[in-house]
A and B are shown apart, each in its own frame.
Chain A
Amino acid sequence: MPKRTSARRMGRRTSRAARRTSRRVRQAAALPAMNHPEPYVSVIIPAMNEAGTIAGVIAGARGVHPRCEVIVVVNGSADKTAEIAKASGAHVIFYELPLGHDAGRSVGAEVAKGEILLFTDGDLVISAAQLRPFVKAVRRGADIALNDYSGPVRSIIPHPVVLSKHVLNLMLNRPDLKGCSMTAVPHALSRKALSLLGTSALSRPPLAHARAIMEGLHVEAVHKVPVGKLNRVRRKAGGTDPLQHLIVGDHLEALSLLLERQGDRAGFSDGSRRREMVR
């Protein structure tokens, strides 16, 4: 790995990350390729047919902390994802059938032993240096450390998922979070956040996100990993993604929960409106 020279140099490296997805993160060789018996950090990696990237993902995860366990939730995979993960020393949980979108997070969290839980994904090769800020933020007192990435916002009318995330945060009175959300990885949770939310909540990240904020957990966007650029290009059915529907639906349910708990105006003031003036 080249020596760090300046912030500019760092910037260039980050922006080049997109082209590097298939290359392995090398520093892994220096670390033991096995899980710590008493881990401080648990890294949870759902994976579905990610044989091409999983070794690199695990190598990056391994470097976040000296006391670290890597949990790979392999589901619905017809390739060698599980074998490769085992060879890399990860704790592999294997499901023959697909678990469902984001369900792997709950399964991984269930067995995690660490004080801090770091969530990432089997198709995103991210270096340890890019993952450490999330762990560090939780160690310093955050309950949920989010990826400071709001999705593509250059167009006038954004992607519905990007829009939903922004509006959910607005309605939660957290406009400062912009489009950052537990929907996106990487993000880290404190043990406290996990016990408050419960492992099953993690399968529906927008709901978990809304609950975390409403229940007063310390949620912050800590570090930007531009995952949009790293993400594999997925196929789309007739131009629309059924996943988009599912995620927007989850956001609406989160909003529904918010309105149920904080009233029809989500806690926002009605100004000086004298509603009784009109019948």
Chain B
Amino acid sequence: MDSMPRPKRRGESRPPAGRTARHKASRRTARARRPAARRAERILAPLRGTLSVIVSARNEQETLQLLLKQVACLHPAEIIVVLNGCSDNSFERARQCKEATIVHCPASAGHDVGRAIGAKLSKGDILLFLDGDMVIPAPLLLPFAAAVDSGIDVALNDLDALLPPFGSSDSVTRCKLFLNYVLGRRDLGVSSMTAVPHALSRRALETIGCRELMVPPKAQAISILKGLRVEKAGSVDVIKHNRLRQGNTGVGNGVEQLIAGDHAEALQEILRHQGAARFSPGSNLEEHRRQVAVWRNGI
């Protein structure tokens, strides 16, 4: 965590390393946690715009309350918790956070639908998207909101430093890399709206449309195609702490298939928008191929 690049903001003191912070957050009693929260409050510079935090969760009673405490440190104008398909005490735990607006959908709404619902209900200038399954310390969340506050439209989580060599990467990583490449944004590496945390500007939400947030890679493609400012903004190791569930582990699992389909939709969006134009030579295909062959053989 420590070695990862993290955009520094003026006046921001060094946040605690993610691991220790997470450890504290999950192990300490509520009383002992109070000073930590106050400390975080002190170091977080205020944002100019209003912040809406959208947390989607499904059976996250263990982490939800702790996460909401960290979120509160950011002084958001609103916290929207979208619960779907919960059979545990997530609802009761979320209610412990008095600032939170809770959307409770007893049946499962499906992947990333909660984000779209939350976005639709939100009012803030800055939208920070989180998942309820992971407690992320407030100082690590701030860079995403701060990036949008300073003019970025889509602020993504930078996971490049955590990637294995391509030969052993998973299909999700490969799809993400390819999407950014085709969009002419190799610099984004594997950064994707599929991963949390990420933040959007109100302008981005209006440009993309709430509905499209259900398919995050498609939303990303639209953002870049429509000229929004999409950048890496912070780095939170969500890979190591991701909850292992049935369905997201193993090769060819359901989530992998779902995300492959999402990237197919994103690629379709790009192809509809520009064809293979950026890569194709236009009308005279054969002549172009001839020229390439000539060039390649140095004659």
Cross-chain contact B276 with A275 (CB below 8 angstroms): no
Q: What CA separation (Å) do A268 and B164 show in the bound complex?
A: 26
Q: Mark A150-161, 1 if CB is under 8 A from B, else 0.
A: 100111111010
With beta carbons under 8 angstroms apart, the residue of B165, B181, B265 that contacts A156 is B165
Q: Does A49 contact B (CB under 8 A)?
A: yes
Cβ-defined contact, B280 with A249, below 8 A? yes
Task: Report the stretch among B38-46, B49-57, B93-101, B109-117 that lies at the interface.
Answer: B109-117
Instruction: Tell me the A165-194 residues at the B interface (CB within 8 Å).
Output: 166-167, 170-171, 175
Q: Is the CB of B261 within 8 A of A275?
A: no
A101 at the interface (CB under 8 A from B): yes
Does B267 reach chain A (CB closer than 8 Å)?
Answer: yes
| A163/B163 in contact, CB under 8 A | no
Contact B113 A274 (CB under 8 A): yes
Say whether B252 faces chain A, with CB atoms less than 8 Å apart. yes
Within 8 A of B (CB), among A187-210: 203
Q: Which single member of B164, B214, B264, B295 contacts A264 (CB below 8 Å)?
A: B264
- B10-53 CB contact bits vs A (8 Å, 1 = yes)? 00000000000000000000000000000000000000000000
Question: Does B120 make an interface contact (CB < 8 A)?
Answer: yes
Determine which residue in B117, B254, B261 has the highest number of CB atoms from chain A within 10 A of its CB, and name it.
B261
Residue of B nearest to A266 (CB): B264
Tell me how far the C-beta of A259 lies from the nearest C-beta in chain B, rounded to whole angstroms.
5
Q: Mark A37-80, 1 if CB is under 8 A from B, else 0.
A: 00000000000110000000000000000000000000110100
Contact of A270 with B290 in the complex, beta carbons under 8 Å? no
A221 to B294, CA, bound (A): 30
The one of B105, B120, B265 that contacts A265, using a Cβ cutoff of 8 Å: B265
A13 contact set on B, CB distance < 8 A: none
User: A255 at the A/B interface (Cβ < 8 Å)?
Assistant: yes
A83 CB-CB contact with B under 8 Å? no
For the complex, is A17 an interface residue (Cβ under 8 Å from B)? Answer: no
Q: Are B290 and A246 in contact (CB under 8 A)?
A: no
Are the C-beta atoms of A248 and B279 separated by less than 8 Å? yes
Report how many residues on chain B are interfacial, defined by Cβ distance under 8 Å: 64
Q: Can you name the residue of chain A whose Cβ is closest to the Cβ of B172?
A: A170
Is B166 a contact of A235 with CB atoms below 8 Å?
A: no
Q: Is the CB of B160 within 8 A of A271?
A: no
| CB pair B267 A259 closer than 8 Å | yes
- In the complex with contacts A48-B293, A249-B279, A252-B276, A163-B110 CB distance below 8 A: no
Comparing B223-231, B233-241, B281-289, the segment that makes contact with chain A is B281-289
* Known contacts A156-B163, A164-B178; A78/B299 CB under 8 A: yes
Knowing A248-B279, A265-B264, A277-B117, say if A243 contacts B296 (CB, 8 Å).
Answer: yes
In the complex, chain A residues whose CB is within 8 Å of the CB of B293: 48, 75-76, 98-101, 103
Name the one of B182, B287, B289, B295 contacting A102, with C-beta atoms under 8 angstroms. B289
**Bound Cα distance A23, B153 (Å):** 58
Chain A residues lying within 8 Å of B213, measured Cβ to Cβ, are 278
How far does the alpha carbon of A265 sit from the alpha carbon of B175 in the complex, in Å? 13
The smallest beta-carbon distance between B110 and chain A, in angstroms, is 3
Q: In this assembly, does A87 line the interface, its C-beta being within 8 Å of a C-beta of chain B?
A: no
Determine the distance from Cα of A164 to Cα of B286 in the docked complex, in whole angstroms. Answer: 22
User: Which residues of chain B have C-beta atoms less than 8 A from A154's C-beta?
Assistant: 165-167
A243 to B120 Cα, complex, angstroms? 45
Please, which residue of chain B has its CB at the minimum distance from the CB of A170? B171
B131-185 interface with A by 8 A CB criterion: 160, 163-167, 169, 171, 174-175, 177-178, 181-182
A278 → B minimal CB distance (Å): 4
A234 CB within 8 Å of chain B: yes
Most buried by A among B178, B211, B252, B293: B293
Contact partners of A162 in chain B: CB under 8 A: 166
The answer on a CB contact under 8 Å between B280 and A153 is no
Counting CB contacts under 8 A, is A253 at the interface?
A: yes
> Is residue A97 contacting chain B, with contact meaning CB distance below 8 A?
yes
Most buried by A among B116, B252, B280, B289: B289
Docked-complex contact B298 and A235, CB < 8 angstroms: yes
Query: Does A14 count as interface, using CB distance less than 8 angstroms?
Result: no
- Is B123 close to A, CB under 8 A? no
Given contacts A164-B178, A275-B214, contact A259 B264 (CB under 8 A): yes
Interface residues of B (CB under 8 A from A): 105, 107-113, 116-117, 120, 160, 163-167, 169, 171, 174-175, 177-178, 181-182, 186, 189, 210-211, 213-214, 251-252, 254-255, 257-258, 260-265, 267-268, 271, 275-276, 279-281, 286-290, 292-299
A-B contacts, 19 listed (Cβ < 8 Å): A76-B297, A76-B299, A98-B290, A100-B290, A101-B290, A156-B169, A157-B177, A158-B166, A160-B181, A166-B166, A171-B264, A175-B171, A259-B264, A268-B261, A273-B113, A274-B109, A275-B211, A278-B214, A279-B120
Given contacts A48-B297, A249-B280, A252-B271, 13 further A-B pairs with CB under 8 A are: A49-B299, A100-B293, A163-B181, A167-B174, A235-B298, A248-B182, A259-B267, A265-B261, A268-B260, A269-B254, A275-B113, A277-B116, A278-B113
A residues in contact (CB < 8 Å) with B: 48-49, 75-76, 78, 97-103, 150, 153-158, 160, 162-164, 166-167, 170-171, 175, 203, 234-235, 237, 242-243, 245-246, 248-249, 252-253, 255-256, 259, 264-275, 277-279
